[in-house]
Structure 1
Amino acid sequence: MKIAKVSERMLKLTIVLSLPSGAIVGWQADRLRRKFLDWRKEQLQSKLGETQKKLGLA
Structure 2
Amino acid sequence: MGDVSERSLMVCVVLSFSAGVLIGWHGNKMRRRFLDWRKKRLQQQLDATQKKLDLA
TM norm structure 2: 0.86
Is 16-25 or 43-52 further displaced after alignment?
16-25
TM norm structure 1: 0.83
Percent identity between the aligned chains? 50
Give 5+ residue unaligned stretches, structure 2. Answer: none
1:1-58 map, 5 Å = 5=1, 7=4, 8-58=6-56
Runs of 4+ displaced beyond 4 Å? none
- Root-mean-square deviation over aligned CA pairs: 1.2
**Count of aligned pairs:** 54
Cα offset for 1:23?
0.5
Give 5+ residue unaligned stretches, structure 1. Answer: none
